Structure 1
Amino acid sequence: MSKDSWAVAVDVQEATTPSIQKLDFSKKVERVCGPRNIRGDINGNVVPDKDKDGGPRGDGESVDQAEQSLLNKLIRRSLVKNRNQVEVLQRDPTSPLFSVKTFEELRLKPELLKGVYNMGFNRPSKIQEHALPMILAQPPQNLIAQSQSGTGKTAAFSLAMLSHVNTDNKWTQCLCIAPTYELALQTGQVIEQMGTFCPDVKLAYAIRGNRMERGIKLQQQIVIGTPGTVLDWCTKYKLIDPKKITMFVLDEADVMISTQGHRDQSIRIHRQLTKECQMLLFSATFEDSVWKFAEQVVPDPNIIKLKREEETLDTIKQFYVVCKEEEDKFTSLCNLYGSLTIAQAMIFCRTRVMASWLASNLIKERHQVALLSGEMTVEQRAAVIERFKNGQEKVLVTTNVCSRGIDVEQVSLVVNFDLPVDMDGNADNETYLHRIGRTGRFGKRGFAVNMVDSKSSMDIIHQIEMHFNRKIIELDTNNVKEMERLTI
C-alpha cells in the first residue's frame, strides 16, 4: 500500500499519560511479570548493551537519535498539546474505520484492564484510539505507525502483546526489538507494569549480559531485546523458535536503521518469521529510508502517520543584537533579561565550553540557571529538564542536545548566544527553527534574540531571513524604551 492511499484525517487533542517510574539502569532489572530470568556478570549485574553506535559527539552540540529517543521517554511524563493531525491509511479502504474512546470498548481481559488503570491511564490517547482496534482485530492486521515519544505508542503495543499471549503455551509468542539496551529496558518496564495482574505472562530480556543456558527453549511468552542478541537467541542458541512467533514489534525504526548493523540484523530476524506473523512497526519519523525499510518488513499494512504541518514562526518575534565580542554578548544578554518580563528562557551555545562559561557567569549575576550539554548522561539531562519544566530554574543554558522535543509552556525567550551553522559555516536553518521553536508554543507569543559578533554571523542572519522570508529586526539592548516598543 502506498503512502498516498486513501486517508482520513482526525484531530490530535491533548491527552494525559501516567508518570512512568524512572528506571535506574545501574541496578539489576527487577521483574513484575513472573520470576527473574536475567543473568548478568558474576555479581548478577546486567552488562550494558554495546549494540549502539556510540561514536564521539564532537563538541557537545549534537546527540545521537537513540539517546534523544530515550531522553524524550524520560521527560515526557504527559502528552503535550499537539496541533498535528493523524492520517489513517487502511489496507482495505472499504472496511469501516474503527476507533475507541475508552479502554472498555476493546473488551480486554479484566486483569489487563485493571493493569491499564493501575498505571494511571484514564482513556486512550489518539494513537491508541486508532492503533489498538487495528492491532487487536481478528484476523490480525499489520501496522506501520508514526508516533513520537509521549504519544502512548509503547503502551499501545505493550497492551497488544499482553492481550495476544496464550498463557497455556509455554514458548515465546511475542517478540519486540528496540535499538538499544536502555530503550529495551524502558519498553520492558511498561510491559511489566501493565502486566502486574497477569502473573502467568512471563517476560524475558534479550540483551547482552543476559546469558541463557544453551539447549533450552524459552518459556517466556514475551521477549524484548536488541537486534543482535535477539538474532543470536533465534539462530545461534536456538532459545526461540521464530516459526512460533505470532506477533513481531519493531520499535524506533528510524533509530534502528541509523545504527550500524541493526537494519541488517532486523531483516534477518524478520526473514525467519512466518507470513502469518503479525507485524507492527513504529517510527518517530517517516523519511524515505524509513519507508523503504518499513515496506520491506511489513507487508500489506494499515498505516497511521502524522499529517505534515508546516512549522510556523507567526507567534515568534525575531531580533538580532550587534555585539563586538563575547563580553558584549554577555552584557547585552543581561540587559535583555533585565528589561523584559520573562517567565523562562533558553539560551543556546555552540560548544560545551561556551555553555559552561555562560552558565557560570549568569549564576554570578544571581540568575537561577541550569546547564545542559552532551557529556551528561541521558538520566542527568532528563533530571535537569525536569527541574526546568517545574520552574526550579528560570534559565536553561544548553547546546543542541536540547533543540528538539522539549515543550515548556512558560518559555517566552530563546537566545542564540551562538548562531547555528552547518559544517560549511552556512546557516543551519533547520536547527535555527527547532531552537527558536522552543518559544511561542501553544499559540503564545515568544521572542527569539540572536547575538551577532562578526560580519560572518551577520551573513548568517541574512541567510536565515532569506530562507524563511522573514525580517529579523535589530535590537539595541542598551535602549530600554526601544526594547519595550519592539517587544510589545
Structure 2
Amino acid sequence: YTLPTPIQEQAIPYLVKGRDLLGCAQTGTGKTAAFALPILQWLEQNQETLSPKGVRSLILAPTRELAVQIGESFRVYGRYLKIKQAVIYGGVRPAIQIRALSRGVDILVATPGRLLDLLNQRQLRLDKVGVLVLDEADRMLDMGFLPDVKKICSAIPANRQTMLFSATLPSEIVKLSRNFLDDPVKVAVNPPSSTVDRIEQKVLFVDRENKSALLESILEEDKSIQRALIFARTKHGANRIAKRLSKIKISTEAIHGNKSQPARLQALEKFRSGRARVLVATDIASRGLDVDGITHVINYELPKEAESYVHRVGRTARAGSDGIALSLCDADEKSYLRKIELEIGCSLNVDQNHPFHSQSIANKKSGDRTSGSKNFSNGRGKKVRNSLTAHSKGKNKSFSFSRNHSSGKPANRKKNTKNQRVS
C-alpha cells in the first residue's frame, strides 16, 4: 500500500490505541491489513516468551479459503518480524496442526469448528489471548458457527481487544457486537455510487432443461468472458456444471465444501493464474474469495437469499474495471428474482438475445422494468449500492457505537487499552 484504503484510514488509529471495533467492510477493501498491521505492531512492541500451546492473538474466519488468505497476509506483512503463526482448519489431519501449536504461537488464524475441536482436546490454550478478531461475522452467523464462537470467546480473557468485521450489519450482528465488544468504535465504508455503474446486470429467462445449453452457448460464443465466476446453489450442482463444461473443452474448476483443502487451493490457483477460465462455486465456498480480473459473474442458479446476490455480483468490476453479471432464471426462480429486485431497488435488464429465451417466463414478470438498470434507485437500492461498492475508494464514517452496558457483558470486563491486554 502506498496510501491507506478507507477502512485502513478509519480503523487503524483506533486499533493501535487498543479500542474494540465494529467494522463494516467487504472483501477487497484492504480490511485484512486494517487489523493485521495493528496486531503485528502490538506483538512487536510487547514481545514475550511463548507458553506451550499458548496463543497471543486469535483471528476467526468462516471458511478455509479465507483463513489461508489471512494467514498468508500475516506472513507477508510480518516477514521481517520474529513472530510465530499458524493456520488451522478442518479437512486436513489435525496432527500437523497440533505440532504447529505445541510450542505456542503469536498469531493463530482458525475456523471455529477445528479450533473448538482442538480446544476440547486441550491441544491449545486461549488464556493468553490479548487480541481477538471475528472476520466475516455475518457469514459465520449464516453458517451456524455462533454457538462455537460463543464457546471460544468464553475461554478467552475478558480484558482482550476485540474486532468484529462484517460485510453487512443486520440486527443479529449488532446484537453479537454487544455481547463480544466493549464500548466499540464503529467504522463503515460508504463508497460513491459511480462504481456500481461499472456492473452491467442482466437476467436471461430460460426453461430449466435449457440452462446447461445456454451456459455453454454463452461461454463458447462470448470471447470477452476472460475469467468467469459461476454460482451454483449446491455442491453437487457445482460439480455437474464443472464436469459438463470440461467435456466441451472449457477449462473449469470447482470449489465447494466436499473438496479437500489441497484440491480447493489448487483450483483457486488455477483460476487466479488464468489456467482455468471458469470457476464454479457455492456461496459458502466463495466467501472470502479475493481474485482480481473477474470479467463476468454468472448466476447459473439464483440465490434464495437476495443478499447473497449482492455478494456474488460484487466479485466483478473491482479496482475500477467494468464487469458483467448474468442471471439465468427459470420459472421456479421468479420469486427469488423478485426478492433480488426489491433488495437492490431496481429491475434487471432482460437479455433476449440468445437462442433459449423463454417469452412465457418473461411474460409472467410482475412490475415495470427500467431500461438502464445499471443505475440503482433510492430506498433499498441505496443499501445495496453501498455493499456492492465497498471494495473501492469512497467516503467513510466513523463514530462511537453506544450500547447498553447492562446487556449481559461480564462484570469484570475492563476498558481495553494496550497496557491492559493479557501479556
- Which TM bucket (shorter chain)? 0.5 to 0.7
CA shift in 2, pair 1:229/1:203, >3 Å: farther
> In the alignment, what sits opposite 1:394?
277
Decide whether the 8 Å contact of 2:60 with 2:133 is kept in 1. Answer: no
Deviation string, structure 1 residues 251-273 (Cα, Å, up to 9, x no partner): 438277733243144145334x4
> In the alignment, what sits opposite 1:269?
156
CA shift in 2, pair 1:267/1:160, >3 Å: farther
Q: Describe the SS at the equivalent of 1:269.
A: coil
> In the alignment, what sits opposite 2:45?
164
Cα RMSD of the aligned pairs, angstroms, is 4.8
Q: Describe the SS at the equivalent of 2:39.
A: helix
> In the alignment, what sits opposite 1:413?
296
Deviation string, structure 1 residues 138-173 (Cα, Å, up to 9, x no partner): xx5423152656531453143133233155x78799
CA shift in 2, pair 1:238/1:194, >3 Å: closer
Q: Describe the SS at the equivalent of 1:341.
A: coil
Distance 2:240 2:192 in 1: 37
Q: TM-score under structure 1 normalisation?
A: 0.52
Q: CA deviation at 1:444?
A: 4.2
Q: In the alignment, which of 315, 320, 340 is matched to residue 438 of structure 1? A: 315
Q: Describe the SS at the equivalent of 2:157.
A: helix
Q: Describe the SS at the equivalent of 1:451.
A: strand
Report the AA paired with residue 143 of structure 1. D
The answer for unaligned runs of 5 or more in structure 1 is: 1-14, 16-121, 213-217, 423-427, 481-485
Q: CA deviation at 1:232?
A: 8.2
Distance 2:341 2:123 in 1: 58
Distance 1:409 1:187 in 2: 16
* Matching of residue 329 in structure 1 with residue 211 in structure 2: yes
CA shift in 2, pair 1:230/1:334, >3 Å: closer
Distance 1:414 1:170 in 2: 45
Q: Describe the SS at the equivalent of 2:245.
A: helix
Larger radius of gyration: 1
Percentage identity across paired residues of the two chains:
21
Q: CA deviation at 1:320?
A: 1.1
CA shift in 2, pair 1:471/1:237, >3 Å: closer
Deviation string, structure 1 residues 438-488 (Cα, Å, up to 9, x no partner): 3444454443333344x33355445544554214314142399xxxxx9xx
Report the AA paired with residue 200 of structure 2. I
Distance 2:126 2:228 in 1: 51
* Matching of residue 176 in structure 1 with residue 176 in structure 2: no
Distance 1:157 1:368 in 2: 41
> In the alignment, what sits opposite 2:199?
315
> In the alignment, what sits opposite 2:245?
362
Q: CA deviation at 1:357?
A: 2.9
CA shift in 2, pair 1:417/1:123, >3 Å: closer
What does residue range 58-457 of structure 1 map to in structure 2 within 5 Å?
Answer: 127-136=7-16, 140-146=17-23, 151=31, 152-167=33-48, 175-179=56-60, 222=106, 224=108, 247-252=130-135, 254=137, 258-267=145-154, 269-271=156-158, 273=159, 279-285=161-167, 286-307=169-190, 312=196, 315-323=199-207, 325-326=208-209, 328-342=210-224, 343-401=226-284, 404-406=287-289, 408-420=291-303, 422=304, 428-453=305-330, 455-457=331-333
Report the AA paired with residue 332 of structure 2. S
Q: Describe the SS at the equivalent of 1:316.
A: strand
Q: Which has the higher helix share?
A: 2
How many residues get paired?
A: 332
Tell me which of the two structures has the higher relative contact order, counting C-alpha pairs closer than 8 angstroms and 6 or more residues apart.
2
Decide whether the 8 Å contact of 1:270 with 1:297 is kept in 2. Answer: no
Distance 1:419 1:439 in 2: 17
Decide whether the 8 Å contact of 1:256 with 1:263 is kept in 2. Answer: no
Distance 1:238 1:320 in 2: 51
CA shift in 2, pair 1:433/1:282, >3 Å: closer
Distance 1:253 1:414 in 2: 21
CA shift in 2, pair 1:260/1:379, >3 Å: farther
Q: TM-score under structure 2 normalisation?
A: 0.59
Q: Quick check: 283-292 or 389-398, which moved more?
A: 283-292
Distance 1:392 1:433 in 2: 27
Distance 2:299 2:184 in 1: 43
> In the alignment, what sits opposite 1:81?
none
Q: CA deviation at 1:387?
A: 1.6
CA shift in 2, pair 1:239/1:364, >3 Å: closer
Q: CA deviation at 1:356?
A: 2.7
The answer for unaligned runs of 5 or more in structure 2 is: 358-371, 373-423
Q: Describe the SS at the equivalent of 1:366.
A: coil
Q: CA deviation at 1:197?
A: 5.8
CA shift in 2, pair 1:470/1:175, >3 Å: same
> In the alignment, what sits opposite 2:410?
none
